[in-house]
Amino acid sequence: MSSITYLLSRLLQMIPTFILVMVIIFLLVRLLPGDPAIAMADAKATEAQLEALRQRLGLNEPLWTQFFYFVRNVLTGDLGQSILLKAPVATVILERLPVTVFLTLYAVLFSLLIAGPLAAIAALNKNQRADIIIRGLFQVGLSTPVFYIGLLLLTFLAAFLRWFPVGGYGQTFWQHMYHLLLPALTVALYTSAIIMRNLRSSIIEVIDAEYVQFARAKGLSEGLILRRHVLRNALVSTVTLLGLSIGNLMSGTLVTETVFAVPGVGRLMLDAIFARDYPLIQGLTLTFAVLVSLVFLLTDMIQSWLDPRLRPS
């Protein structure tokens, strides 16, 4: 099978996933207690006003009719109108998705920059002082809540030293880089801790493998051995982990986005759930499903590039 047909078949396999996601989210959202009319009109509305609102939102239609409209609209690219924001769901998501994607990629970049070298150092000095210090520091990173790290960074680096702005997103690319540096770092401190531990143990495993000893016996330089034989093999499981954490990060930047006032989709999702904004919740979930599936696909592609044994035969 060529890699093109492999890619195509993987993309086709995503379709049932999306259908399943649509059905599940459609039903789950409606299982939440409290209907959107109540959430929307808050308490002040009378029963008659609520009824008029339900009518307008189509909430009185039978469930299957609502589902039919939902699927039909999704297929035509129409995600509906957000009840909360009184604007088209697709527009709202497109406005705010790039912010979260930017933040996520930025955080991943930081995580790799932090975790990669430190994992190598820790592994090469297994159980010695450097290893213990590095692992100890990451343990702190892993066990401190994200919002707390965020607030600490904001208080000292932004409000006190004034090196960075206190939250926000900025207008231009470089402003985004500047504004999102602290939030990305905050997220990275957590993610890099996970990646570092995984990469360290993989390296330790690989470094004693026979093919590495063979390479050493051939007289290859240590740097070359590390790059070509050790890291490449050790990275296979780390890439899987990274792929999984990107999926998590994407939908889980809520806390970081709130603390740093970053207008991304994480915060939007929370607002949407509290407001019982069915169209917006459905639209966001579908978007997350697409993104996570794409990230997983990308992860598989990278893995098969790293390890030829994983390539489709």
Partner 1 sequence: MKNVLFAAVAALSVTAMTPAQAVERGGTLTFARYDDSTLIDPIYADRNPDIWMVSNLYDTLLRTEADGKTVVPGLASSYSLSSDGLELKMTLREGIRFSDGSDIEAQDVIFSLERARNPDLGPWAGLLGSIESVTANDRDITITLKNPDPTIILMLATFNTAIVSKDAFDTASGTTDQEKAQALSISAPVGSGPFVLKDHQRGASMNFVANRHYWRQGEDGQPLPYLDAIDFLVIPDDATRILKLQAGEVDAAEFIPFARVAELKADSNINMELFPSTRIIYSPINTREKTADGEDNILASKEARQALNYATNKEALIQLILHGAGKPMTSGLMASTTQLATGTEPLYKYDLEKAKALAAKAGIKPGTEISLTTLAGSADDAIIFTALQQMWSQIGIKLSVEQVDGATRGAKNRSGEFDIHTYGWVNDVNDPAQVAGWLGYYPTRKAVGTDWNNAEFNSLYEASNKETNLEKRAEQYAKMQTLYAEEAPLIFMYETPFAVALGNAVKGYVQTPLGSNEFSSTWIEQ
Q: Is 144 in the site for partner 1 (CB under 8 A)?
A: no
Minimum distance, C-beta of residue 107 to partner 1, in the bound complex (Å):
18
Residue with Cβ nearer partner 1 (124 or 158): 158
Q: Is 173 in the site for partner 1 (CB under 8 A)?
A: no
Q: Is 177 in the site for partner 1 (CB under 8 A)?
A: no
- State which of residues 102, 106, 169, 190 lies at the interface with partner 1 (CB under 8 A): 169
- State which of residues 154, 207, 226, 295 lies at the interface with partner 1 (CB under 8 A): 154
What is the footprint of partner 1 within residues 39-98 (CB under 8 A)? 39-46, 49, 52, 84-87, 92, 95-96
Distance CA 93, CA 279 (A): 11
What is the footprint of partner 1 within residues 224-283 (CB under 8 A)? 258-261, 263, 267-268, 273-276
Q: Is 181 in the site for partner 1 (CB under 8 A)?
A: no
Residue with Cβ nearer partner 1 (197 or 276): 276
Residue with Cβ nearer partner 1 (189 or 275): 275
- State which of residues 155, 175, 213, 221 lies at the interface with partner 1 (CB under 8 A): 155
Residue with Cβ nearer partner 1 (247 or 266): 266
CA angle, residues 105, 187, 204, in degrees to nearest 5: 85
Residues near partner 1 (CB under 8 A) are 32-36, 38-46, 49, 52, 84-87, 92, 95-96, 151, 154-155, 158-159, 162, 165-169, 258-261, 263, 267-268, 273-276
